Structure formats: C-alpha cells, structure tokens
Amino acid sequence: MKHKDIYDLLKTLDIPVAYDHFDTNKNITPPFIAYREVSPETFKANNITYYRPYEFEIELVTEKKDVALQQSIEDLLTTNNIPYDLENEIWDEDERIYHNFYEI
C-alpha cells in the first residue's frame, strides 16, 4: 500500500486526515488522523534491495475514548484486507486528548 492509497482509504472515515501533521495555521480539532511511514524491514542481498515494503503508523486523536470510531478504523482495515495492530493508547493529560496508534 502506497501513501495515496492509505490517504484515500482513511479519508472515507469523514474526519480530517494528514500525513504526519497538519499545518499550524489550520485549526484542527479532534477527532482527526495523522499517518506516517515507519522504517520497514527491507530484504537485501548482494548489495541490492529486493523488497521494500511500505509500513505505516496511523494515529487517531480524540478528546474522549471513542470506541465507535476505533471500530470504524478497524472495520475499514479489515474490509480492505489490511492487517493491523493496535500498538498503543496514550492519554495526554496536558492536551486532554487520547492518541491511539495502529500499525499497518
């Protein structure tokens, strides 16, 4: 899956989506999604990279625990045959928001 593919897929959730971060001049409020490419394990031999997969982290940001939105993300990934792991959920006390991290 490439950048445009994951962006187009996440946009179907009807919440703001951006790669890595939103412009600081935009007033984006949760819920929103930021996704970023993570360093994949490449397959190399004889000084040649034979396979370089695209792996992404999807960060869902919400003001409260949003089980329905999380389920929507999980259903979207499952329906599109995209294996995922819910890696972490963090409550940011200073900003008063939740961060849920999915790895695909």
pTM of the entire predicted model? 0.85
Nearest to 89 by CA among 72, 80, 102, 79: 102
pLDDT for res 67: 97
**Residue 10: its pLDDT value, please?**
98
Assigned token pair, 13 = 């959730």
Domains, the chain, with CATH or none: 3-103 (3.30.2000.30)
Residue 1's pLDDT is: 76
Q: What is the pLDDT of residue 26?
A: 77
Q: Which helix (H) or strand (E) holds 10?
A: helix 3-11
- Residue 68 has what pLDDT? 97
Q: For residue range 70-85, list pLDDT tens digits in order.
A: 999 999 999 999 999 9
Residues 9-65: tens digit of each pLDDT: 999 999 999 999 998 777 899 999 999 998 777 788 898 887 777 789 999 999 999
